[in-house]
Amino acid sequence: MTTLAQQMHQTLADRLAPTALEVLDESAAHAGHAGANGTGFGTHFRVRISSPLFTGKPRVAQHRLVYDALQEFIDQGVHALAIEVL
């Protein structure tokens, strides 16, 4: 079975052609917080990414590309997404 983090990783790889990419599920650290689903996974993620598509774009536009690529996951219950552009 593929984890949600792996699915998100594949989606970002397919859509943004990153040169560096890491998707971390940080949900366990947020257990009991708003947006947590009680399982300890699948709600809070950190994405570390570098992509040639980011070149010349301001940070907000870079983040928008990531959010747009992952919108289907946000619609399905991802509560928090921290983005670090490398």
How far, in Å, CA of 8 to CA of 75, rounded? 13
What's the confidence (pLDDT) of residue 29? Answer: 63
**pLDDT tens column, 18-44:** 999 999 998 876 555 554 444 444 788
Count of beta carbons in the 10 Å neighbourhood of residue 51:
22
35-82 pLDDT per residue, tens: 444 444 478 899 999 999 999 999 999 999 999 999 999 999 898 999
pTM for the complete prediction?
0.83
| Domain map (residue ranges) of the chain | 4-85
At the fourth CATH level, the homologous superfamily of domain 4-85 is BolA-like (3.30.300.90)
